[in-house]
Amino acid sequence: MEKSLRTAVMVAGAAALLGLVVVAPAASIPAAAQQRGGGQATVAPAAAKPMPRTSWDGKPDLTGVWGGPLPATGTPSVEERASSVAELARLYQPWALEKSNALSYLEDPRLHCGPWGFPRYIDGASLAVPRNAFYFLLQIVQAPKETAVFIEYVYTGYRVIPTDGSTHPKTIVPSFFGDSVGRWEGDTLVVDVTGFNGKIWLANGKLGTRPPGDLGGGTMTSDALHEVERWRLVDADTLEYQAIVEDPKVLTGAWTTPKYRLRRVPPGTVPHEALCLDPEDLAVMKAATKEQK
């Protein structure tokens, strides 16, 4: 994992260099343009990129690598995240809220070689902080009858979403990512997900009953978890994600996540291998987590 992170840092640094903007000198602006607007230079806005669409059905093509590195879009805001987690806390059944708040940070699935799961992974991908500049990439490959989503951190995993009219199988083996089936509603890919194993957490924020600086607390789920995701291209380089979450065993109603917006990464940026080698990597992660206290 240390090797892959070092590689990722190098990739993030290169991406940052590629992101430098070269500003044209004022002399290159025609004199007539400089004279309009009381001396204010008028520059025509850059033409918007055309929305990528598939050749087989004309739907928006989500294919690409999304998430980091920076800059992120700033959506949702810190306030929107906090409000969303507060609403999630309100929806927990009392016993489930008590159990979630009693969880230790060492019980986080990510510290036990388990993936973050959705929608939590998307929340990590949208964070606009330097430490996540090379984390939480996801790659989407769209095909005529299915769409594949490959997840980088932590740990390398994938989802296959049929879009050919398939329904959930009668027997589903419970898993971290659940069983997905998709359909198009206009230009939005709607994904129904069920068959979870009850081991993922829903959100990154605390539920509000622990003291500041306390890393404890979690957002537990059960095997009754059901999600409806909506994936939509806002423009050629911005992917929007939102989910409605139901879990009748632990929640009193449906929780709607904020709308997350992920940016298309610079050309050449690819997801890296992120493996968990228990117990070596677990010891490193746990030690790093304790240092944050």
Q: What is the DSSP letter of 113?
A: T
pLDDT of residue 92: 96
Chain position carrying tokens 């979870």: 196
pLDDT of residue 154: 61
Its pTM stands at 0.77
pLDDT band of residue 110 (cuts 50, 70, 90) is confident
Q: What is the secondary structure of 219-254 as a DSSP string?
A: ----TT-EEEEEEEEEETTEEEEEEEEE-TTTBSS-
Q: Is the pLDDT of residue 178 over 80?
A: yes
Tokens found for residue 21: 């903007």
**Averaged confidence pLDDT in the chain:** 78
pLDDT band of residue 194 (cuts 50, 70, 90) is very high
pLDDT band of residue 180 (cuts 50, 70, 90) is very high
CA neighbours closer than 13 Å in the CB half-sphere of residue 222: 12
Least confident of 23-27, 45-49, 137-141, 253-257: 23-27
pLDDT band of residue 8 (cuts 50, 70, 90) is very low
User: What whole-number percentage of the chain has pLDDT above 90?
Assistant: 45
Mean pLDDT, to the nearest integer, of 170-197? 97
* Nearest one of 84, 116, 87, 81 to 252, comparing CA atoms: 87
pLDDT of residue 207: 77
Mean pLDDT, to the nearest integer, of 197-218? 75
Q: Are 216 and 105 in contact (CB under 8 A)?
A: yes
CA neighbours closer than 13 Å in the CB half-sphere of residue 130: 3
Q: Is the pLDDT of residue 17 over 50?
A: no
pLDDT of residue 97: 93
Q: No. of H helices and E strands in the chain?
A: 6, 10
Query: In what helix (H) or strand (E) does residue 18 lie, and over which residues does it extend?
Result: helix 2-18
Q: Are 120 and 203 in contact (CB under 8 A)?
A: yes
- Please name every residue paired with 262 in a beta bridge, in sequence order, or none if there are none: 239
Phi, psi of 177 (to 5 degrees): -95, -10
Q: Is the pLDDT of residue 262 over 70?
A: yes
pLDDT band of residue 31 (cuts 50, 70, 90) is very low
Q: Are 227 and 193 in contact (CB under 8 A)?
A: yes
User: What whole-number percentage of the chain has pLDDT above 70?
Assistant: 70
Q: Are 118 and 243 in contact (CB under 8 A)?
A: yes
pLDDT of residue 50: 93
Q: Report how far residue 250's alpha carbon sits from residue 194's, in angstroms, rounded to the nearest whole number.
A: 15
pLDDT of residue 136: 78
Q: What is the DSSP letter of 107?
A: G
CA neighbours closer than 13 Å in the CB half-sphere of residue 26: 5
86-99 pLDDT, tens digit per residue, is 999 999 999 999 99
pLDDT of residue 108: 84
Tokens found for residue 210: 């622990």
Tokens found for residue 28: 């290159």
The better pLDDT of the pair 137, 163 is held by 163
Q: Report how far residue 90's alpha carbon sits from residue 278's, in angstroms, rounded to the nearest whole number.
A: 36
Least confident of 23-32, 128-137, 147-156: 23-32
**SS3 annotation, 42-53:** CCCCCCCCCCCE
Helix (H, G, I), strand (E, B) or coil at 105: helix
Alpha carbon 16 to chain centroid distance? Answer: 20
pLDDT of residue 48: 78
pLDDT band of residue 156 (cuts 50, 70, 90) is low
Q: What is the secondary structure of 133-159 as a DSSP string?
A: TTS--EEEEE-SSEEEEEE-SSS-EEE
Q: Report how far residue 276's alpha carbon sits from residue 270's, in angstroms, rounded to the nearest whole number.
A: 19
pLDDT of residue 68: 56
Q: Is the pLDDT of residue 288 over 70?
A: no
Residues 208, 196, 88: CA angle, nearest 5 degrees: 20
Would you list the domain boundaries of the chain? Answer: 52-291
Q: Is the pLDDT of residue 173 over 90?
A: yes
Tokens found for residue 232: 């939509």
The better pLDDT of the pair 244, 44 is held by 244
